[in-house]
């Protein structure tokens, strides 16, 4: 089950984002079937799902698998595993005191959902390979329970993001001496991890363990993990053990052990050290628990839509802390019962009623028609001006997305403008504290945009499809699909799969973010791609930022758009500090066949075009197949950091700083223009063995400290220049002898590539200065066999 291979090009690409489309789905209801399915799924490069019938399976053995492709194990199915599940059902895996379930991951996603693990020595998720972190892979644990094990869940990650939602960690009581033994939840970054990872624990509860929640040691310099809306209480040794900085937000613990660099990150806030007042099932006591309505409604990446038991996650005026949401609510519910355009029981009437109430309302659907219900509007809906939640998924027959990369929800409420109305839904916020949200709807046919969000408050748009998803004549949007004017804090999508929007057919742009001085977030969406994930439903530009500051565009698949994937221009004021990270730009999340290259979903022009503003960061994206220069920075922009991306198979340059074409190595002292005209390095030797080598080169530039990033490429362009296919190492170089003209400094940097082999590849480099200015990509240097190099740095 080891996937080591010597073939560099196509295998590598296949592994980066492993297969999706012809996935196997297993349905199991005995231990033997479960173990057989696990073995078959692990050996197959497909993305596989194991559905477990809602029963108890006994697993007394130690079972360790090395999954190839993505693996999802989902519990709570009725016999024969029909798609629909009772949201309150689980499957139980019983370890009989000796069982252990281990996963050793390469680079596929791992999802565990609605499973209860009991009487095990533990569940572990560890890296199988210490190189090649995946770019958009994640370990996702949703609505699981770890009950009375020796240790609960142990995760060490090298390249996967980690998201744990709505899970219980109860009664782990191993007697071993270290902090990981007896921990309900232990999460850490492997010491060999070099990518920035998102590690988030949200709305979970640890109770009655030896140690509640443990974050082990890590190197400094990475984004800290986040613990949000989480309770760790009544654990025998410590509720919370930190060996690294962690952002703690609206969480609760009493006893703590913060040492060896472990500290609550300075941005932590809203935490409590009180008795949470939980009942015997770890639910907040009603009405007295201080956990009720005391969580954070706007965590980074958004809230999950359900709680541990499968109920609505946010009930009442705020979300609760912990795995369960209480039923306490004073929020009035308005029910849409008519598909008519106006009159009693219509969506229009619900919006009017919500606007008449300055407090929050929740709009739900109970339409007496089969799924999908089509609301054909004959005149525009009034703008929403008071806080409200429009919950399309409340209509019978709806189901949320489960797939880690694709949209596979069933949305049952369609809002159609038939191409005659300007705007579908308008959130006209009037104060900074207001928020308005829409989820679970399908939008078709508006001549300006489907959703418009404006004002000082925030909008939340999650789990919707635009321009596709219903069996009606396709109608697009003449301008943007979603237009956001100011509205700081607005979130389009989210980190949970059920938050993913599919955004298609915006003639000008998919998402248009206009001037704001505080960030909006576009997270986890599919932009320009059909539901299958591997064919086109193009927008003009995928995401257009005009004058926004501190906007975040992360973890989206942005492909097939006819223009640019992402374009940043000036609005009424300059743009600045956009973060573009972990996106797939030009690659398809679906695959025609497993184990092969990801499908070409190239955008029609650049992947990212920065026309204005400073301080943007383009980090750790997968950028391929785009039909022009991949990343372009124009003259007005500087300090655009371009780091740790994977850039290959684009038409044109990987990185083009204005002017067009490969810039000369010129005098950088006092230079202005795109990224201050920073020169790229010159490489003169790259040698070693298949897995470990040294690259020698020089950088000519102004004085300063520069980071050099090195990449392996399967091939080089005819002009001798290449892209930046696979990061293989980095180092720093210091120049101190520049005066009126360039100084120069030599570097030698160790590179490694444990799985695929460096021999035969073409090495390229970029330089990044201390301000974040990044260079174009250097000329190629062929990697050749050379003296054996030992990983301790000493040659023998
Ligand atoms: Ca609540
Ligand atoms: Ca250029
Ligand atoms: Ca230059």
pLDDT of residue 794: 41
Q: Distance, CA 776 to ligand 3 centroid (Å)?
A: 10
Q: Is the pLDDT of residue 197 over 90?
A: no
What's CA 331's distance to the chain center, in Å?
A: 31
pLDDT of residue 475: 87
Residue 767 CB contacts under 8 Å (≥ 6 apart), including other chains = 678, 679, 680, 681, 699, 701, 706, 707, 708, 733, 774, 775
pLDDT of residue 226: 96
pLDDT of residue 21: 38
Q: Is the pLDDT of residue 423 over 50?
A: yes
Burial bucket for residue 356 (CB in 10 Å: 0-12, 13-18, 19+): exposed
Question: Residue 775 CA: which ligand is closest?
Answer: 3
Model confidence band, residue 338 (pLDDT cutoffs 50, 70, 90): very high
Model confidence band, residue 18 (pLDDT cutoffs 50, 70, 90): very low
Structure tokens at 106: 């390469």
Tokens 């330089």 correspond to 767
Q: Distance, CA 73 to ligand 1 centroid (Å)?
A: 29
Q: Is the pLDDT of residue 612 over 90?
A: yes
Q: Distance, CA 680 to ligand 3 centroid (Å)?
A: 8
Q: Distance, CA 741 to ligand 2 centroid (Å)?
A: 21
pLDDT of residue 131: 54
Say if residue 659 is preceded by a cis peptide, omega within 30 of 0.
yes
Q: Is the pLDDT of residue 176 over 70?
A: no
Q: Distance, CA 726 to ligand 1 centroid (Å)?
A: 45
Question: Residue 660 CA: which ligand is closest?
Answer: 2
Q: Distance, CA 674 to ligand 2 centroid (Å)?
A: 9
Question: Residue 320 CA: which ligand is closest?
Answer: 1
Residue 177 CB contacts under 8 Å (≥ 6 apart), including other chains = none
pLDDT of residue 405: 86
Question: Residue 673 CA: which ligand is closest?
Answer: 3
Q: Distance, CA 138 to ligand 1 centroid (Å)?
A: 28
First vs last C-alpha separation in the chain: 34
Q: Distance, CA 438 to ligand 1 centroid (Å)?
A: 18
Note residues around ion ligand 1 (Cβ under 5 angstroms).
293, 315-316, 320
Q: Is the pLDDT of residue 13 over 60?
A: no
Question: Residue 668 CA: which ligand is closest?
Answer: 3
Q: Distance, CA 659 to ligand 2 centroid (Å)?
A: 5
Model confidence band, residue 402 (pLDDT cutoffs 50, 70, 90): confident
- Report whether 700 contacts 759 (CB < 8 A): no
Q: Distance, CA 664 to ligand 3 centroid (Å)?
A: 7
pLDDT of residue 217: 77
Question: Residue 680 CA: which ligand is closest?
Answer: 3
Instruction: Give the integer Cα–Cα distance in Å for 721 and 731.
Output: 21
> What average pLDDT does the chain have?
91
Q: What average pLDDT score do residues 254-261 get?
A: 94
Decide the pairing of beta strands 413-428 and 441-455: parallel
Q: Distance, CA 213 to ligand 3 centroid (Å)?
A: 50
Model confidence band, residue 795 (pLDDT cutoffs 50, 70, 90): very low
Q: Distance, CA 633 to ligand 2 centroid (Å)?
A: 9
Instruction: Give the integer Cα–Cα distance in Å for 313 and 320.
Output: 8
The fraction of the chain above a pLDDT of 90, given in percent, is 79
Q: What average pLDDT score do residues 718-739 get?
A: 93
Helix, strand and coil percent figures for the chain, each rounded to 5: 5, 40, 55
Weakest-pLDDT range from 45-49, 315-319, 366-370, 594-598: 594-598
Q: Distance, CA 657 to ligand 2 centroid (Å)?
A: 4
Q: Distance, CA 327 to ligand 1 centroid (Å)?
A: 7
Question: Residue 667 CA: which ligand is closest?
Answer: 3
Question: Residue 666 CA: which ligand is closest?
Answer: 3
Concatenating the DSSP letter of every residue in 21-78 gives SS-EEEEE-SHHHHHHHHHHHHHSSS-EEEEEESSEEE--SEEEE--SS-EEEEEEEP
Weakest-pLDDT range from 129-133, 151-155, 211-215, 328-332: 129-133
pLDDT of residue 192: 67
Q: Distance, CA 638 to ligand 2 centroid (Å)?
A: 14
pLDDT of residue 219: 63
Q: Distance, CA 692 to ligand 3 centroid (Å)?
A: 31
Longest dimension (CA), the chain: 85
Geometric angle at alpha carbon 623, from 557 and 705, rounded to 5°:
125
Q: Distance, CA 314 to ligand 1 centroid (Å)?
A: 5
- Report whether 591 contacts 568 (CB < 8 A): no
Q: Distance, CA 672 to ligand 3 centroid (Å)?
A: 9
The neighbour count for residue 418, using CB atoms within 10 Å, is: 15
Question: Residue 362 CA: which ligand is closest?
Answer: 1
Question: Residue 297 CA: which ligand is closest?
Answer: 1
Weakest-pLDDT range from 167-181, 502-516, 705-719: 167-181
pLDDT of residue 792: 46
3-state secondary structure of 11: helix
The tens digit of pLDDT for each residue in 85-100 reads: 898 999 999 999 999 9
Q: Distance, CA 607 to ligand 2 centroid (Å)?
A: 16
Q: Is the pLDDT of residue 775 over 80?
A: yes
The tens digit of pLDDT for each residue in 566-577 reads: 999 999 999 999
Question: Residue 328 CA: which ligand is closest?
Answer: 1
Q: What average pLDDT score do residues 360-389 get?
A: 96
Question: Residue 742 CA: which ligand is closest?
Answer: 3
Note residues around ion ligand 2 (Cβ under 5 angstroms).
656-657, 663
Q: What average pLDDT score do residues 295-312 get?
A: 94
Q: Distance, CA 73 to ligand 3 centroid (Å)?
A: 52
Q: What average pLDDT score do residues 149-158 get?
A: 92
Does the reported pTM lie above 0.85? yes
- Report whether 590 contacts 532 (CB < 8 A): yes
Q: Distance, CA 397 to ligand 3 centroid (Å)?
A: 59
Residue 792 CB contacts under 8 Å (≥ 6 apart), including other chains = none
Q: Is the pLDDT of residue 194 over 70?
A: no
The fraction of the chain above a pLDDT of 70, given in percent, is 92
Model confidence band, residue 179 (pLDDT cutoffs 50, 70, 90): low
Backbone phi, psi, residue 180, to 5°: -80, -25
Q: Distance, CA 389 to ligand 1 centroid (Å)?
A: 14
Instruction: Give the integer Cα–Cα distance in Å for 307 and 498.
Output: 13
Nearest Cα neighbor of 302 from 582, 555, 559 is 555
Q: Distance, CA 669 to ligand 3 centroid (Å)?
A: 8
Weakest-pLDDT range from 11-15, 228-232, 249-253: 11-15
Instruction: Give the integer Cα–Cα distance in Å for 533 and 711.
Output: 28
Residue 178 CB contacts under 8 Å (≥ 6 apart), including other chains = none
Full strand arrangement of the beta sheet holding 263-264: 24-28, 48-53, 71-77, 110-113, 138-142, 161-165, 199-202, 226-228, 245-249, 263-264
């Amino acid at each position: 089950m080891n996937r080591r291979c010597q073939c560099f090009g196509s295998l590598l690409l296949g592994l980066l984002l492993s297969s999706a489309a012809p996935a196997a789905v297993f349905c199991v209801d005995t231990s033997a079937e479960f173990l057989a399915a696990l073995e078959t799924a692990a050996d197959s490069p497909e993305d596989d799902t194991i559905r477990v019938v809602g029963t108890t399976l006994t697993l007394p053995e130690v079972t360790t698998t090395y999954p190839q492709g993505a693996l999802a194990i989902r519990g709570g199915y009725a016999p024969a595993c029909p798609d629909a599940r009772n949201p309150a059902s689980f499957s139980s895996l019983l370890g009989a005191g000796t069982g252990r379930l281990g996963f050793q991951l390469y680079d596929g996603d791992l999802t565990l959902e609605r499973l209860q693990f009991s009487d095990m020595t533990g569940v572990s998720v560890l890296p199988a390979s210490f190189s090649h972190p995946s770019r958009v892979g994640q370990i996702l644990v949703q609505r699981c329970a770890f009950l009375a094990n020796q240790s609960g869940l142990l995760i060490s990650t090298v390249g996967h993001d980690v998201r744990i939602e709505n899970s219980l960690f109860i009664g782990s009581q191993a007697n071993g001496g270290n902090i990981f033994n007896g921990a309900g939840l232990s999460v850490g970054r492997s010491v060999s991890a070099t990518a920035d990872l998102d590690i988030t624990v949200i709305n979970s509860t640890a109770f009655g363990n030896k140690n509640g929640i443990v974050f082990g040691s890590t190197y400094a310099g990475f984004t800290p993990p986040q613990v949000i809306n989480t309770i760790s209480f009544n654990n025998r040794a410590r509720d919370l053990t930190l060996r690294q900085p962690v952002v703690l937000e609206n969480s609760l613990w009493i006893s703590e052990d913060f040492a060896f660099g472990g500290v609550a990150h300075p941005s932590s806030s809203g935490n409590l050290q009180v008795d949470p007042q939980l009942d015997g099932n770890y639910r907040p006591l009603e009405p007295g628990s201080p956990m009720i309505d005391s969580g954070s409604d706007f965590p980074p990446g958004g809230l999950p839509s359900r709680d541990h038991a499968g109920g609505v996650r946010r009930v009442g005026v705020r979300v609760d802390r912990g795995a369960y949401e209480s039923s306490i609510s004073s929020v009035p519910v308005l029910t849409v019962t008519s598909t008519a355009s106006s009159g009693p029981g219509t969506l229009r009437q619900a919006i009017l009623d919500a606007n008449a109430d300055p407090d929050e309302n929740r709009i739900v659907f109970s339409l007496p028609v089969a799924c999908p219900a089509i609301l054909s509007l004959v005149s525009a809906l009034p703008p929403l001006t008071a806080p409200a939640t429009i919950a399309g998924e409340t209509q019978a027959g709806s189901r949320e997305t489960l797939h880690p990369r694709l949209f596979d929800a069933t949305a049952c409420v369609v809002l159609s403008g038939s191409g005659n109305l300007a705007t579908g839904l308008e959130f006209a916020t009037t104060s900074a504290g207001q928020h308005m949200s829409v989820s679970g709807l399908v939008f078709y046919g508006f001549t300006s945009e489907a959703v418009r969000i404006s004002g000082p408050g925030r909008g939340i748009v999650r789990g919707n499809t635009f321009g596709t998803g219903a069996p009606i004549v396709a109608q697009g949007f003449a301008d943007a699909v979603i237009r956001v004017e100011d509205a700081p804090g607005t979130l389009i999508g989210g980190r949970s799969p059920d938050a993913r929007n599919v955004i298609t057919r915006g003639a000008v742009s998919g998402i248009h973010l206009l001037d704001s001085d505080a960030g909006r977030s576009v997270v986890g969406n599919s932009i320009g791609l059909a539901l299958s994930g591997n064919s086109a439903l193009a927008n003009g530009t995928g995401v257009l930022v005009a004058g926004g500051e501190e906007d975040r565009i992360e973890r989206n698949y942005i492909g097939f758009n006819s223009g640019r994937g992402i374009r940043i221009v000036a609005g009424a004021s300059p743009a600045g500090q956009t973060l573009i990270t972990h996106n797939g730009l030009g690659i398809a999340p679906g695959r025609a066949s497993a184990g092969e290259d990801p499908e070409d979903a190239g955008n029609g022009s650049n992947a990212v075009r920065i026309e204005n503003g400073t301080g943007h960061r383009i980090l750790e994206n997968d950028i391929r197949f785009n039909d022009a220069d991949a990343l372009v920075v124009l003259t007005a922009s500087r300090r655009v950091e371009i780091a740790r991306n994977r850039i290959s198979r684009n038409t044109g340059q990987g990185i083009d700083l204005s002017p067009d074409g490969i810039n000369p190595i010129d005098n950088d002292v006092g230079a202005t223009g795109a990224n201050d005209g920073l020169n790229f390095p010159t490489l003169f030797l790259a040698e070693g063995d298949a897995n470990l080598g040294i690259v020698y080169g020089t950088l000519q530039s102004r004085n300063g400290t520069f980071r050099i990033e090195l990449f392996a490429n399967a091939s080089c362009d005819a002009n001798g220049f290449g892209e930046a296919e696979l990061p293989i190492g980095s180092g720093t170089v210091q120049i101190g002898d520049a005066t009126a003209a360039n100084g120069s400094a030599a570097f030698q940097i160790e590179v490694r590539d444990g799985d695929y082999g460096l021999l035969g590849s073409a090495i390229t480099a970029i330089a990044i200065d201390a301000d974040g200015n990044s260079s174009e990509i250097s000329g190629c240097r062929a990697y050749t066999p050379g003296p054996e190099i030992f990983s301790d740095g000493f040659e023998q």
